[in-house]
Copies of this chain bind each other. A is one copy, B any other.
Amino acid sequence: MKEFRIAVLPGDGIGPEVMQEALKVLDAVEQRFGIRCVRQDAAVGGAAIDAHGSALPEATIHTCENSQAILFGSVGGPKWEHLPPDQQPERGALLPLRKHFGLYANLRPAIIFPQLRDASPLKPEIIGSQLDILVVRELTGGIYFGQPKGIESDRAYDTMIYTRLEVERIARVAFEAARSRGKLVHSIDKSNVLNSSILWREVVLEVARDYPDVELKHLYVDNAAMQLVVRPSQFDVILCGNLFGDILSDEAAMITGSLGMLPSASIAGSGSDGIPFGLYEPSGGSAPDIAGHGVANPIAQILSAAMMLKYSFGQDEAYQTIFTAISDVLSEGYRTGDIASDGTTRVGTAEMGDLIAGKV
């Protein structure tokens, strides 16, 4: 029996409730596929600030180091918003985790389940018959981490910097992904203004030579923000640096109309065990306003677990099974409040988890 070690970091707000459902589905997957995910809990975010004085305690880092993947809930809430930004739950936990574990490749699918097409803010004729975008965002470089950065009395600055190596490895992730999908990469930059973008475009063009079967297009980031709204179906894989990826992945997620459905993966290179370490988390936030009421949509968290099985543990079939289970449950008309519409059956967080686990 294959055994994997995962760190479970539920976090704040709806994190703990939706995590419970993801673990329920994971139980079902273990039974069905004869694998085991040994779980170790750890505190993160606001909960960790309250209990241990830091959004990312040492003990949590250790737990993660002893694991092969992190299943992450969500962090943040009004309670901690008075803190300085770098001590707040989001910033104080996510950025150090990404850097510490070298999680350079952020994969953020923006898909529309056919059953939920009506939820998009875009007109049906704009959405077209299908929407399946994968945003590949560089996550440990760019202006998020570039030095020097500082605040003086009368000015403040940050450095957007990319090395050839950083661009090359994230570009490869995008082209590899495109190869098993729609065979199209849109690389995003602002090379008409930024030097870092000129290098970005140059390196992406070099990498593209190794993928003659994949088509490459370049878009300026401002144009990309427009095209996502006006013709989203033209996209397959969108390749971006850290800052542009932050903006465009959120915009892409929003046009699906189902933020509560979307998972994300943040992946490092393979470790000595051959397993790519990764952090898997919902794309949406901790939704403190509905936390504790048992009404949150657990699907993004469940899909995050599915991505973990696929990208870190190579269990493509388990991934596909979970995906199909979700699709079936939606087809049968079950919805949590955030995605409910006329003629559907409203269920709570736990019931949705039960239904999906049952299908698995």
- Known contacts: A226-B251, A248-B225. The answer to whether A91 contacts B192 by CB under 8 A is yes
Is B156's CB under 8 angstroms from A158's CB?
A: no
Specify how many copies of this chain sit in the oligomer: 2
* Interface residue? A35 (CB, 8 A): no
- Known contacts: A155-B199, A157-B161. The answer to whether A90 contacts B192 by CB under 8 A is yes
Chain B, Cβ-Cβ closest to A127: B121
* Interface residue? A4 (CB, 8 A): no
* Interface residue? A173 (CB, 8 A): no
Partner among B122, B156, B223 whose Cβ is within 8 Å of the Cβ of A121: B122
Chain A residues within 8 Å of chain B by Cβ, number: 54
**1/0 contact string of A184-206 vs chain B (CB within 8 Å):** 00000011111110111000000
Is A195's CB under 8 angstroms from B149's CB?
A: yes
Is B250's CB under 8 angstroms from A226's CB?
A: yes
Is B91's CB under 8 angstroms from A193's CB?
A: yes
Chain B, Cβ-Cβ closest to A148: B159
Is A195's CB under 8 angstroms from B158's CB?
A: yes
- In whole angstroms, what is the CA distance A251 to B198 when docked? 23
The 4 closest A-B pairs by CB, nearest first: A156-B199, A157-B161, A226-B254, A225-B251
